[in-house]
């Protein structure tokens, strides 16, 4: 038997509170041994991981891959590689494609492109309603059978609470996972950023916090009534974090995520009409950011990238006319490491929020133990990140900062960097 030997890695696995320097032996894409050399076989290759973190592969519960349909913004090939460089092994792609991912054909196309790309694996999210129109239920069971790990509304409004109730009931019948973004579009009205002092100063229409919390209350109550398996996608406010906490405390099986942008930035970044920070959900106040960080540190909130890249023309416009979304994969690790370095995020809580917790939501195995398929990433904290350039107007950073994945293993396979 031949082994891949990862030497002197700093192993961190929050699922079993593993936090030590050790060696790992891999064979046939599975973990053969941790700490000690297997009694039989020879070492085929050794990776010296001195000073690097070896963590369970990150699972992203939200990104926009723009394929099929929006090739000017990104592609599965490009963005799954960027995701792997950011430490992700599995990424959930929102169904906002053209055509919308509401049919088995589109899902199959996405799965095939992901296999060809051979980087982070795409776990497609199917559209919850036909055409993401919010009215007619999509063929939920067919979509699951075609490979959808869950169904999502991708911030498109669900017509009303009646439709929301019925789609939860139907999904609950077949135990289909739902990803729902809490957004009351009537309250959000024509808003383009967080309603607060910065929106007032800039004269930009604001999105009140209640546009999220009112919808969240509705989702939580209907989830309780219908027994649907609901994951709340991208909360942005302190109050939402409390509401999710309370729901969990009452025994409701819900999970929720926050996009990294909402942990790093606040509405003040929009000053100067900076369209790089035009995102959905909007960046909110400092108290919101602190509450979201605290929820991650308590182990109650998952971190997602909500990676949503755009071409230059989509961002080079007056703020309200620019398209919402931020390209996150290229700068994901530098931003995350900075939060850890600044003591805003606990390191192990952050890794848990990126691996153990989202894996639980999706029912994936993500524990370092002998016999498990190896999904992991080696993080080099000082290595230069992927290119974050001034020209990429959907990136929050205009220059590279330290932090990169030196190696990423997806389902036992080492990703080959381009």
Partner 1 sequence: MMSDPSQLQLAPNGELRHFLTTEGLSKELLESILTKASGFLDSKGDLIAKVPLLRGKSVVNLFFENSTRTRSTFELAATRLSADILNLDIQRSATSKGETLMDTLWNLEAMHADMFVVRHADSGAAHFIAEHVTPNVAIINAGDGRHAHPTQAMLDMLTIQRHKQGIEGKVVAIVGDILHSRVARSQIHALKTLGAAEVRVVGPATLLPKDIEDLGAKAYYDFSLALRDCDVVIMLRLQKERMQNALLPSESEFFRLYGLTSEKLALAKPDAIVMHPGPINRGVEIESAVADGPQSVILKQVGYGIAVRMAVMAMAMSGQRTNQAGPEAPQ
Distance CA 21, CA 9 (A): 5
- Among 108, 200, 225, 389, indicate the residue that binds partner 1 (CB under 8 A): 200
What is the per-residue DSSP string for 145-195?
A: HHT-SEEE-TTPPPS-HHHHHHHHHHHHHTT-EEEE----HHHHTT--EES
CB of 64 to partner 1, least distance (A): 21
**Nearer Cβ to partner 1 (251/318):** 318
Segment interacting with partner 1, rule: CB under 8 A, options 104-112, 251-259, 318-326, 377-385: 318-326
Q: How far apart are CA 360 and CA 170, in angstroms?
A: 22
Residue 250 is a binding residue for partner 1 (CB under 8 A): no
Which residue bears the tokens 């390191």? 347
Whether 361 contacts 231, CB under 8 Å: yes
Write down the least CB distance from residue 268 to partner 1, Å: 12
How many residues comprise the chain?
Answer: 418
Q: Does 173 contact partner 1 by CB under 8 A? A: no
Query: Is the CB of 79 or the CB of 195 nearer to partner 1?
Result: 195
From candidates 42, 162, 272, 416, binder to partner 1 by CB under 8 A: 272
Query: How far are the Cα atoms of 106, 224, 239, 247 from residue 250, in angstroms, in the given order?
Result: 38, 10, 17, 5
Per CB under 8 A, the segment of 71-79, 82-90, 147-155, 314-322 that binds partner 1 is: 314-322
Residue 283 makes contact with partner 1 by CB under 8 A: no
Question: Which region among 63-71, 87-95, 102-110, 270-278 touches partner 1 (by CB under 8 A)?
Answer: 270-278
Spatial separation of the C-alpha atoms in residues 13 and 108, rounded to whole Å: 33
Give least dist CB 94 to partner 1, A. Answer: 25
Diameter of the chain by CA atoms? 70
Q: Which of 318/371 has CB closer to partner 1? A: 318
Which of 202, 244, 335, 345 binds partner 1 (CB under 8 A)? It is 202
CA distance 29 to 409: 9
Interaction of residue 21 with partner 1, rule CB under 8 A = no
75 touches partner 1 (CB under 8 A): no
- Note whether 262 and 217 are within 8 A (CB): no
Exactly one of 13, 60, 195, 300 binds partner 1 (CB under 8 A); that residue is 195
CB 83 within 8 A of CB 113: no
251 touches partner 1 by CB under 8 A: no
Helices (H), 193-331: 197-202, 210-226, 238-249, 260-264, 286-297, 312-315
DSSP bridge pairs for 255: 231
Draw the binding track, 321-350, toward partner 1 (x: CB under 8 A; -: no contact). x-----------------------------
Site for partner 1 in 387-406 (CB under 8 A): 390, 398
Binders in 363-392 for partner 1, by CB under 8 A: 390
Residue 60, both tokens: 């992203």
- Antiparallel, parallel or unpaired: β 150-152 and 177-180: parallel
* Contact residue for partner 1 among 276, 307, 352, 366 (CB under 8 A): 276
Give the closest residue to 120 by CA, choosing from 86, 149, 72. Answer: 86
The number of residues that bind partner 1 (CB under 8 A) is 27
Q: Which of 17, 40, 318, 343 binds partner 1 (CB under 8 A)?
A: 318
Tell me which stretch binds partner 1 (CB under 8 A): 315-323, 333-341, 353-361, 366-374.
Answer: 315-323
Instruction: Find the part of the chain contacting partner 1 (CB under 8 A) among 25-33, 82-90, 137-145, 192-200.
Output: 192-200
**Sign of the CA dihedral with 144 first, then 149, 150, and 151 last:** negative
Closest distance to partner 1 from the beta carbon of 272 (Å): 4
Q: Cα 111 vs. chain centroid, distance in angstroms?
A: 18
Per CB under 8 A, residues contacting partner 1 are 195-197, 199-206, 208, 271-276, 313, 316-321, 390, 398
């Amino acid at each position: 038997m031949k082994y891949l030997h990862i030497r002197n890695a700093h192993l961190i696995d929050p699922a079993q509170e593993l936090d030590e320097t050790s060696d790992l032996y891999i064979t046939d894409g599975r973990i053969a041994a941790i700490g000690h050399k297997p009694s039989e076989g020879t070492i085929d290759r050794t990776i010296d991981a001195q000073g690097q973190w070896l963590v369970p592969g990150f699972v992203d519960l939200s990104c926009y891959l723009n394929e099929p349909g929006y090739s000017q913004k990104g592609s599965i090939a490009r963005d799954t590689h960027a995701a792997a460089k950011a430490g992700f092994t599995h990424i959930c792609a929102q169904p906002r494609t053209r055509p919308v991912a509401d049919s088995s054909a589109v899902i199959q196309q996405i799965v095939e492109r992901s296999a060809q790309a051979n980087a982070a694996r795409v776990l497609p999210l199917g559209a919850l309603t036909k055409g993401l129109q919010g009215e007619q239920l999509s063929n939920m069971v067919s979509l699951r059978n075609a490979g959808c790990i869950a169904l999502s509304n991708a911030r498109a409004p669900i017509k009303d609470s009646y439709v929301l109730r019925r789609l939860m009931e139907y999904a609950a019948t077949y135990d289909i996972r739902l990803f729902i973004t809490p957004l009351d579009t009537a309250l959000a009205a024509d808003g383009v950023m967080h309603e607060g002092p910065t929106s007032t100063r800039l004269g930009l229409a604001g999105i009140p916090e209640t546009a999220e919390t009112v919808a969240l209350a509705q989702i939580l109550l209907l989830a309780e009534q219908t027994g649907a398996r609901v994951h709340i996608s991208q909360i942005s406010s302190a109050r939402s974090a409390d509401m999710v906490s309370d729901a969990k405390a009452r025994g409701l099986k819900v999970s929720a995520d926050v996009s990294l942008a909402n942990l790093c930035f606040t509405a003040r970044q929009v000053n100067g009409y900076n369209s790089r920070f035009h995102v959905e959900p909007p960046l909110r106040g400092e108290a919101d950011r602190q509450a979201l960080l605290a929820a991650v540190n308590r182990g109650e909130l998952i971190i997602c990238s909500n990676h949503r890249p755009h071409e230059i023309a989509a961002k080079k416009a007056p703020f309200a006319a620019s398209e919402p979304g931020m390209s996150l994969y290229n700068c994901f690790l530098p931003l995350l490491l900075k939060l850890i370095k600044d003591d805003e995020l606990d390191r192990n809580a952050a890794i848990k929020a990126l691996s153990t917790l989202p894996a639980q939501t999706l029912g994936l195995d993500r524990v370092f133990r002998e016999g498990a398929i190896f999904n992991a990433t080696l993080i080099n904290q000082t290595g230069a990140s992927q290119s974050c350039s001034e020209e990429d107007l959907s990136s929050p950073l205009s220059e590279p900062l330290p932090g990169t994945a030196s190696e990423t293993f997806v389902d036992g396979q080492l990703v080959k960097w381009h």
